[in-house]
Chains A and B, each alone.
Chain A
Amino acid sequence: MARGVVKTELRFVTAEDLRSQLAEYEARFGVPSDRLADAFRRDGELEETQEFLDWSALYSAYLAATTSSQRKPAPRRRAP
């Protein structure tokens, strides 16, 4: 690739979009995303298929997006 010419293709998504995609995996594999590794264990060993990696990355992105939102400090309440 010639230097200085790499292009980027941006796609904007929301946490809700990610949640919808997660729901598809959860329905297909029958486990919630916080236990997704369970769906890929055989004899105790994790089988890192492409689907596992795709789902796991999606879930991490979802957590990163939603946890960031929750990190915002709650408004202080005035003492009565």
Chain B
Amino acid sequence: MLPRWVRSLDDYWSWFAEQLDYSGGRLEDDSVQVQIVEDEATGERLALILGRQRVIFHGGSWLEFRVVVDRSLEQVEYNYHYSSAQGELVWRMDKHPGHGELSHIHRADGRHYRYPEVDITDVLSEILKQLE
């Protein structure tokens, strides 16, 4: 759940970057890449695309994320792909059309399953549990 201070798309990416900052991992690139979709005429922010990029954790496992957020601060689409250091899928939490259910998880068995919607804090908590 978003903290109360996150009220705009600008707040959203600040909050998102903060979560990565505290994750214990390191960004593969130097910075969080944020695409801001703007109304050319008014300068109004309409949507955000965060990533796609990787955070590498102790031991070499990594998270690749991409998140699309709309003006109401809903994640309209995401991919949170967690991989072992050897590049094997541990899981990927997705929200996108194409399957029966928008939000789902791909497991290492090659199948996907219905899964509740998550955000970056849920994803990082899950990774930290696995790293413990």
Residue positions of A touching B, CB distance < 8 A:
1, 3-16, 18, 37, 40, 46, 48, 52-54, 56-58, 60-61, 63-69
- Selected contact of B68 from candidates A9, A10, A12, A60, CB within 8 Å: A60
- Known contacts: A14-B39, A56-B98, A64-B47. The answer to whether A1 contacts B27 by CB under 8 A is yes
B35 CB-CB contact with A under 8 Å: yes
- Known contacts: A16-B40, A61-B49, A65-B47. The answer to whether A5 contacts B34 by CB under 8 A is no
CB–CB A11/B68 < 8 A? no
Interface string of B71-106 (1 = CB under 8 A from A): 100001101000000000000001011110000001
Total A-B Cβ pairs within 8 A = 112
CB–CB B46/A60 < 8 A? no
Q: Would you list 18 pairs from A and B whose C-beta atoms are within 8 A, ordered by A residue?
A: A1-B21, A1-B23, A6-B20, A8-B33, A9-B31, A11-B34, A16-B40, A48-B106, A52-B98, A54-B52, A56-B97, A57-B96, A60-B77, A61-B35, A61-B37, A64-B68, A64-B76, A68-B47
Give the chain B neighbours of A15 by CB distance below 8 A: 37, 39, 46
CB–CB A6/B47 < 8 A? no
